[in-house]
């Protein structure tokens, strides 16, 4: 069992007793658990066997495609039907979609009820559940509607990772690699040297990766400066993810971010911040884990159009978070369309 203390809440890793202790102390009028069909089957039984209080269940359809205001409306309506009030507790049991959307719904229902995160995927454990970013997609743009509000607590259980297919583990692992690239060069080299996911100390890996993000978000909770480095790979990556969202073979979040990290590493190279051998190493490491999806990149006009709605932008200028060097991220970087085009060509080029 491990514990990480943030500015306003605690993150507990593999400590079931802490869940009941938190809920008992809160003396809530009612408890609502939000799940999807996957966490209902694989994760809810563990929680249900533990909770001392009765609870109501709201089940939504899984997938990024359902992370929208229509789903929020359905959750709010069901909360009303269940008689929830501002003294209720919302437990978000799921991956990043449920964590982002469930926290947003709870924070806006009756101007805010308490919520806790029980992230069940690697992606949500090392990234989405930490730092208080909440929201939904809107009109095809990722996370366009949302707020920053910290949960009451986060409870992570690495046993839930055993329920995930390998592609979901790879998706989450992209954020682990990102944390190393922007803040810890040794972690980057360690985390990109793996051959498979079958023999990993997930408790230690989750702890180490979460600690990097926690230290950043504690220093800059409102994303006024330093926290923006966490968006490395995401300006291009979110655009690629959005472009492929409605396709039958859409990319998972981490798969798109992995491509984005390679392309934004190449932008860092073009700025003279990392060497050619370093950007080639990043590309080779990503392809080794994620493959080389050259057919998923939109044309330059479409890519720029999608990036134009990125939340880091200012005054219509697309702003990037890049690398000063491996292990050191920067932010508020402007690049030219020609540089973006060269980064696309770099990704598409066969090693």
Residue 137 backbone dihedrals phi, psi, to 5 degrees = -80, 155
Could you tell me the sign of the dihedral formed by the alpha carbons of 243, 246, 251, 252, in that order?
positive
**What range does the domain containing 313 cover?**
166-348
Q: Looking at the structure, tell me whether residues 247 and 320 fall in a common domain.
A: yes
The verdict on whether 255 is a catalytic residue reads no
- 239-254: pLDDT as tens digits: 999 898 877 778 899 9
- 337 and 266 inside one domain: yes
Model pTM score: 0.92
Q: Is 10 a catalytic residue?
A: no
Which tokens go with 215? 């230290």
The 10s digit of each residue's pLDDT in 37-53 is 999 999 999 999 989 89
94 vs 195, residue with greater confidence: 94
Total count of domains within the chain:
2
Based on the fold, state whether residues 10 and 140 are members of the same structural domain: yes
Asked if the model's pLDDT at residue 141 lies above 90, the reply is: no
Phi-psi domain of 238 (left: phi exceeds 0; alpha: psi -120 through 50; beta: other) = alpha
Question: What average pLDDT score do residues 270-281 get?
Answer: 97
325 has which bridge partners? 328
Note whether 264 and 328 are same-domain residues: yes
143 noted as active-site residue:
no
180 and 324 inside one domain: yes
Query: Could you say which of 92, 142, 214, 223 is catalytic?
Result: 223
Three-state DSSP string of the chain: CEEEECCCCEEEECCHHHHHHHHHHHCCCCEEEEEEHHHHHHCHHHHHCCCCCCCEEEEECCCHHHCCHHHHHHHHHHHHHCCCCCCCEEEEEECHHHHHHHHHHHHHHHHCCEEEEEECCHHHHHHHCCCCEEEEEECCEEEEEEEECCCCEEEECHHHHHHCCHHHHHHHHHHHHHHHHHHCHHHHHHHCCCCCCCCCCHHHHHHHHHHHHHHHHHHCCCCCCHHHHHHCCHHHHHHHHHHHCCCCCCCCHHHHHHHHHHHHHHHHHHCCCCCHHHHHHHHHHHHHHHCCCHHHCCCHHHHHHHHCCCCCCECCECCECCEEECCEECCCECCCHHHHHHHHHHHHCCC
Judge whether residue 351 has pLDDT over 80.
Answer: no
User: 217, 286, 195: which is closest to 7 by C-alpha?
Assistant: 217
User: Is residue 119 located within the same domain as residue 192?
Assistant: no
Q: Is 292 an active-site residue?
A: no
Residue 294: CATH number of its domain = 1.20.1090.10
CATH code, domain with 26: 3.40.50.1970
Pair (146, 255) in one structural domain:
no
Of 137, 163, 189, the residue at which a domain comes to its end is 163
Domain end call among 114, 147, 163 = 163
Active site residue 238: yes
Q: Are residues 144 and 186 in the same domain?
A: no
Active site residue 231: yes
* Residue 348 bears catalytic tag: no
280 shares a domain with 133: no
Residue 311 has pLDDT above 80, yes or no: no
Backbone angles phi, psi at 291, to 5 degrees: 85, 180
234 noted as active-site residue: yes
Marked catalytic residue, from 170, 234, 243, 312: 234
Q: Are residues 72 and 191 in the same domain?
A: no
Q: Are residues 94 and 226 in the same domain?
A: no
Do 35 and 83 belong together in one domain?
Answer: yes
Domain end (from 163, 191, 218): 163
């Amino acid at each position: 069992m491990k514990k990480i203390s943030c500015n306003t809440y605690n993150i507990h890793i593999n400590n079931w007793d802490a869940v009941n202790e938190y809920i008992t102390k809160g003396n809530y009028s009612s408890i609502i658990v939000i799940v999807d069909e996957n966490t209902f089957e694989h994760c809810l039984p563990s929680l249900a066997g533990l909770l001392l209080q009765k609870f109501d269940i709201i089940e939504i359809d899984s997938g990024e495609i359902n992370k929208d205001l229509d789903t929020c409306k359905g959750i709010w309506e069901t909360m009303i039907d269940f008689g929830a009030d501002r003294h209720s507790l919302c437990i978000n049991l799921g991956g990043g979609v449920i964590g982002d959307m469930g926290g947003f719904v709870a924070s806006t229902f009756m101007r805010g009820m308490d919520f806790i995160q029980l992230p069940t995927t690697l992606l949500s454990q090392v990234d989405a559940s930490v730092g208080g970013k909440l929201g939904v997609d809107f009109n095809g743009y990722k996370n366009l509607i949302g707020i920053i509000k910290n949960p009451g607590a986060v409870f992570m259980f690495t046993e839930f990772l055993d329920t995930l297919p390998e592609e979901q583990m790879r998706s989450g692992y992209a954020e682990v690699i990102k944390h190393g690239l922007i803040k810890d060069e040794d972690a980057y080299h360690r985390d990109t040297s793996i051959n498979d996911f079958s023999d990993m100390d997930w408790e230690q890996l989750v702890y180490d990766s979460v600690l990097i993000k926690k230290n950043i978000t504690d220093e800059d909770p409102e994303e006024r400066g330093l926290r923006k480095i966490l968006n490395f790979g995401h300006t291009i990556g979110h655009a690629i993810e959005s472009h492929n969202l409605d396709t039958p073979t859409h990319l998972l979040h981490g798969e798109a971010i992995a491509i984005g990290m390679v392309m934004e590493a190449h932008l860092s190279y073009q700025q003279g911040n990392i060497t050619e051998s370093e950007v080639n190493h990043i590309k080779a490491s990503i392809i080794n884990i994620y493959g080389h999806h050259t057919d998923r990149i939109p044309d330059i006009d479409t890519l720029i159009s999608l990036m134009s709605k990125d939340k880091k932008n200012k005054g219509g200028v697309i702003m990037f978070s890049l690398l000063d060097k491996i292990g050191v991220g920067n932010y508020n970087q402007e690049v030219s369309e020609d540089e973006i085009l060269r980064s696309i060509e770099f990704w598409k080029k066969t090693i």
